[in-house]
Amino acid sequence: RWQKVLYERQPFPDNYVDQRFLEELQKNVHARQYRYQAVVFQSGVVAQQLCSVCVFVVTWWYMDAGMLSPQRLFVAALVSSLLGYVLFDAVDGGAGRWESGRTRWADLKSTLVFTAFTYGFSPVLKTLTESISTDTIYAMSALMLLGHLIFFDYGANAAIVSSTLSLNMAIFASVCLASRLPRSLHAFVMVTFAMQIFALWPMLQKKLKALTPRCYVGVTVLFALAALAGLATISTVGAVLFTSLLLAICGLCPYCLIRLQLLKDNIHGPWDEAEIKEDLSRFLM
């Protein structure tokens, strides 16, 4: 009788298998069953980041057109940052701060250092790209914001995810766009606002999503409506297209994922490569 071993000589060819070979066949062993509501909830991260980019671009357009003063934007951003800071600690009762060991005084010093550094270098930021054409600046900014969306950490464990690269690309885009604003004060406020919406806002989103899902859903809806309202004042067509994009991401794409999941047909069996699951680090010592 044929045995599935290599250390004994048998009167069978090397590629011989008997009728028991397919008895170990398994299908969709590691397949995950998704629920539509859960997928829609997870897609809110993508929608929020798209809205963040939309709000940033709309704000820059208002400042460039002279319809929004830097003083008003700075005050609004300061008030919203203080409210978000209080909410960030109130969500978990300060447990996260206690685990990290970071004090409020350390946060205040970091904020003051960043604000002073940015304000001091705002004239340099304003004149940094004077030798580059405006069309090139706009193209570079669009590519950087697209890269920010691609590399952003949406919660997936993938090699393409890089929070540092994503944030750097967003700040680079903000510096490029801020250099086309009228004065150095505009550039300072624009870069500061970019740091708030691309660095601080996602941190609050992540904590709300983990601890208060209902509040997270409400914030996502309100933020999307605010982004759409701001975009509608600039371009009605753009607002309609952006609405279609959000609906496709939060409604159509989850539905397609659920439907395609039914067609998954992965097979597993004795032909799979062996996986060593035992910890072999002790042999390397």
Q: What is the pLDDT of residues 191-209, one digit of tens each?
A: 999 999 999 899 889 888 8
51-88: b (≥16 Cβ within 10 Å) or e: bbbbbbbbbbbbbbeeebebeebbeebeeebeeeeeeb
Residue 31 lies in a domain: no
Residue 29 lies in a domain: no
Residue 19 lies in a domain: no
Residue 15 lies in a domain: no
Residue 235 lies in a domain: yes
Would you say 74 and 223 are in contact if contact means Cβ atoms under 8 Å apart? no
Q: What is the pLDDT of residues 62-72, one digit of tens each?
A: 999 889 899 99
Mean pLDDT across 258-279: 78
Q: What is the pLDDT of residues 87-141, one digit of tens each?
A: 888 887 777 777 777 788 888 888 888 889 888 888 888 887 888 888 899 999 9
Predicted pLDDT at 231: 93
Residue 10 lies in a domain: no
Residue 283 lies in a domain: no
Provide the pLDDT confidence category of residue 280 given band limits of 50, 70 and 90: low
Mean pLDDT of the chain: 87
Predicted pLDDT at 11: 85
The structural domain count of the chain equals 1
Predicted pLDDT at 233: 92
Lowest mean pLDDT, pick from 25-34, 51-60, 219-228: 25-34
* Cα–Cα distance for residue pair 57/50, rounded to 1 Å: 11
Segment 216-219 long-range contacts (CB within 8 Å, at least 24 positions apart): 216/44, 217/41, 217/44
Residue 205 lies in a domain: yes
Which residue range is the domain that position 57 belongs to? Answer: 36-263
